[in-house]
Structure 1
Amino acid sequence: MSQNQINTTSNSYPISSNSTVTLHFTIKLSNGSVADSTHNMGKPARLTIGDGSLSENFESHLIGLFSGDSKVVDLPAEDAFGAANPDNIHHMDRSKFVGDAAVEVGTIMAFSGPDGMEIPGIISEIAGDSVTVDFNHPLAGQDVTFEVEIISVE
């Protein structure tokens, strides 16, 4: 069945704007390693197209798919999670890190953004009293393969 036909045998409709979609996905890096997968979590993801859960570019590859469809999309970094932005790398004084949290390279910590929302940052370097925190998405600058399996469309 082509993706342009409505699957009348299962009362399925194609994914469109505002569709609620239940899907399994896997995001793989160019070396084939899995960066994220709903299969690892043991349950599918559920989202509404246009709610900001996925980037517009990811969503554009889902539009028109039906329940039961699978798709594999290779995305260059700029179409996936964007290029790494040097302005999102900040140097902080180590004294600002208080409490029991370990300050180690590779640690992901939550920081308060200017709007009060928590944003994740990855500690990328520690040099004396200076801690470098990268606020880019962990997959920024990475080409990825996006594999999806549509379970239901509402």
Structure 2
Amino acid sequence: MTDSVQRNSAVLVHFTLKLADGSTAESTRDNGKPALFSLGDGSLSGELEEQLLGLKPGDKKAFSLGPDAAFGQASPDLIQYFSRRDFTEAGEPEVGAIMLFSGMDGNEMPGVIREISGDSITVDFNHPLAGQTIHFDVEVLEIDPVLEANHANPAG
């Protein structure tokens, strides 16, 4: 166990993500369930990992990351057009609704209904926070926490 966040640490944190207008996009404090991230596994951007390095349990840090360092830029390639017929089983879509779509690989992807025009439905598969500067408030709770799943018999 280490006393500060390293490049290969697992870190249990509470975080709040705020947009430029001050509105909260997401917060682990809302449901009281902190998030576990593993640095170096590719789930966090390099810039975000850099902000966490060296923090100790109990440390709090506020910082902002631009779109490229947070959730990426919105890509026009991730906006797709569907026919209303494609939605017969799912029901009538509404603008702003988030729906799950099956990708070519069989995995489900969330898409946001952006526009409904006659028979054409525009779906945006960009991350909802893509293209935005994000303000992070992070509190480190534990580093390399002992998780319930790790209590299995390692010798078995």
TM-score by length of 1: 0.87
Residue 78 of structure 2 aligns with which residue? Answer: 88
Which consecutive residues of structure 1, in runs of 5 or more, have no partner in the other structure? 1-10
Residue 153 of structure 2 aligns with which residue? Answer: none
How big is the alpha-carbon RMSD for the aligned residues of Structure 1 and Structure 2?
1.5
Residue 26 of structure 1 aligns with which residue? Answer: 16
Q: CA deviation at 1:12?
A: 5.0
| 1:124 partnered with 2:114 | yes
Q: CA deviation at 1:53?
A: 3.4
Alignment partners' CA distance in 2, 1:136 and 1:33: 20
Q: CA deviation at 1:57?
A: 2.3
Alignment partners' CA distance in 1, 2:38 and 2:72: 22
Alignment of 1:1-80 (within 5 A): 13-80=3-70
Deviation track 1:89-128 (CA, whole Å, cap 9, x = no partner) reads 0011110113244400001011111221111100000001
Amino acid at match of 1:36: E
Residue 4 of structure 1 aligns with which residue? Answer: none
Which consecutive residues of structure 2, in runs of 5 or more, have no partner in the other structure? 145-156
Report sequence identity in percent: 51
Q: Is the contact between residue 83 and residue 120 of structure 2 (CA under 8 Å) also seen in structure 1? A: yes
Alignment partners' CA distance in 2, 1:53 and 1:42: 22
Q: CA deviation at 1:37?
A: 0.4
Q: Which runs of 4+ in 1 moved over 4 A?
A: none
